[in-house]
Amino acid sequence: MSDFVMPSLGADMEKGTVVEWRIKPGSAVKRGDVVAVVETLKGAIEVEIFEEGTVAELIAKEGQEVPVGGVLARITRPGETAPAQPAPQPPLPATPQPKIPPPIISVTAPSARVKVSPAARRRAAERGIDPDRLTGTGIDGSVTLADVEAAPAPTPAEAALPKAAKPRWGFEPSEMRQAIAAAVSRSKREIPHYYLTTTIDMSAALHWLQAYNKERLPDKRLLPAVLALKATAKALRETPQLNGYWESGAFRAMERINIGWAVSLRGGGLIAPALRDVDRMTLPEVMAALRDLVARARGGGLRSSELTDPTFTVTSLGDRGAESVIGVIYPPQVAILGLGRISKRPWVVDNQVAARPLMAASLSADHRASDGHTGGLFLDALDRLLQEPDAL
C-alpha cells in the first residue's frame, strides 16, 4: 500500500486545500487520472495520480488544508489486498445507572440542501448556474466541478434571477505575490545565478511570419512568441545542460523539453505551466497548445503535472512594453529565458546603419549546473535558429 500525498506544485507552495475528490474508496485509478481538485494560491488545480491501484482510504476531507507531502489518500497496488479493518471491540461492562426519563427532543427534518464542492460552487457562480438545482455524481451525491461543466447554460429568465454571492475560493493576488516573493528570495539566496544578454535581429522571423499569416484566417495565424518558443526548444536540444533540475546536490538532465510559459493572471499573480515536448511540435501545434494553456491558466482547469513538468521557463514582457527582462530561476529548474519587446532600433547591417526590429534575450542560469560558455552557446543557437524560420 502506498500513500498519495499533497504534491508540490511549485517552489512557492507550502500547502493546499482539498476542495473536491473525484474518487472514493474502492475506485480503480491509473497513471494520469485526475483524482482531486486542490485549491492553492494559484487557484484550483486538478491533481493527477501517478500510479495504478485501488483507493483504500481517503485520509483528507473535502475542505481540509494539507501541507505539501501530507497524506491525502492510501492506494492499494495491484496484487495487494487492503488491510482488514479491526473488528469492533465489545463494550466494557457498565455499572447499572438509575433510570432517568428521556428528555423531550424536538426533531427537525434534515435540510434538503444539496452538497456542492467549493470548486463546483465557484464555477457555477461564474457560469450563472444554481448548483443546488443540479444532480450530483460525486461522493454521497455531491455536485462536482464536472457536473457544473456538463450543465446547460442558464436560460435568459434564469440568468435574470439574483445570483448568490460568489464564494471565496480561488487565489488571492496579495497572498500569491507573498508566496512568489518568498520563492524568489529563496532562489536568489540559494542559487548562484549568472546572467547573459544578447540582441536578436528579428527581421527574418517577422518577414516569414507576415507571409505565413497573410494566407490564413485569424484563428490560424501565429504569434512571434511561437517562433521564439520553438527556437528555444531546439537551442536547448543543443545545450542540454540548461534543461533539467538541480536536485540532491547534482544536476539531472531531462530528455523531454517542457517549457514553462509565464502567464500573468487576471487580478494579479503569475503562473508558469508547461508546454510539453515543444521541440517535437509543429509551429501550428505550438500555437494551439499555447492558446489553450493561457486560457486554462487564467480561467481554471490546469493539471498538477503542468505545474511540475517544466524543465526550463520562458518569460516575455514584450507585450507589456518592456525592452528587456532578466528573470529569476524557478527551482528546481536551472535556467530561465527573458524576452523583451520587439522594437525598431539602429542596427549595423553590411557596414550600414539601418532600422531593424530587435529583441533582447536574457538568460539567467545556475552556475552549479552550467557556466557562461554553455549559456553563450545557447543564446547563439537561439539567434541562429530565429534567422532561419523556415527550418523551425
For 55-76, what is each residue's pLDDT tens digit? 999 999 998 999 999 999 999 9
Nearest to 363 by CA among 385, 340, 335: 335
Q: How far apart are CA 258 and CA 279, in angstroms?
A: 9
Q: How many helical (H) and strand (E) elements, i.e. helices and strands, does the chain have?
A: 9, 19
Alpha helices for 266-358 (secondary structure H): 283-299, 304-308
Determine whether domain 118-159 maps to CATH 3.30.1360: no
Q: In the prediction, which pLDDT does 148 show?
A: 83
What are the DSSP calls for 53-94, one per residue? Answer: EEEEEE-SPTT-EEETT-EEEEEEPTT--PPPPPPPPPPPP-
3-class SS at 338?
Answer: strand
Spatial contact of 360 and 379, defined as CB atoms under 8 Å apart: no
Report the topology of domain 173-391. Answer: Chloramphenicol Acetyltransferase (3.30.559)
Sign of CA dihedral 177, 256, 340, 188: positive
Buried b (16+ CB within 10 A) or exposed e, 21-58: bbbeeebebeeebbbbbbbbbbbbbbbbbeeebbbbeb
Q: In the prediction, which pLDDT does 171 show?
A: 52
Neighbours of 211 (CB within 10 A): 10
Spatial contact of 21 and 139, defined as CB atoms under 8 Å apart: yes
**Backbone dihedral angles phi then psi of residue 236, each to the nearest 5 degrees:** -65, -30
Q: In the prediction, which pLDDT does 82 show?
A: 61
Cell triple for 105: 427532543
Q: How far apart are CA 298 and CA 308, in angstroms?
A: 18
384's CB contacts (< 8 A; 6+ apart) are none
| 3-state secondary structure string across 246-270 | EECCEEEECCCCCEEECEECCCCCE
| 337 alpha-carbon distance from chain centroid | 19
Region(s) of the chain under CATH 2.40.50.100: 2-76
CATH for 2-76, among 1.20.1260.10, 3.40.50.2300, 2.40.50.100, 3.40.190.290? 2.40.50.100
Region(s) of the chain under CATH 3.30.559.10: 173-391
3-class SS at 109?
Answer: coil
| 247 alpha-carbon distance from chain centroid | 21
Cell triple for 44: 484550483
Question: Looking at the whole model, is its pTM more than 0.85?
Answer: no
Q: How far apart are CA 314 and CA 228, in angstroms?
A: 9
Q: In the prediction, which pLDDT does 78 show?
A: 86
AA identity, residue 281 = M
Sign of CA dihedral 240, 242, 245, 246: positive
Spatial contact of 331 and 310, defined as CB atoms under 8 Å apart: no
Residues with pLDDT less than 70, the chain: 82-115, 117-119, 122, 139-140, 155-174, 267
Q: How far apart are CA 132 and CA 134, in angstroms?
A: 6
3-class SS at 194?
Answer: strand
Spatial contact of 340 and 317, defined as CB atoms under 8 Å apart: yes
Region(s) of the chain under CATH 4.10.320: 118-159
Q: How far apart are CA 80 and CA 91, in angstroms?
A: 33
Q: What is the dihedral of CA 288, 291, 296, 302, to 10 degrees?
A: 50
Nearest to 236 by CA among 321, 335, 115: 335
List the strands of the sheet with 65-67, edge to edge.
Answer: 43-48, 34-40, 15-21, 65-67
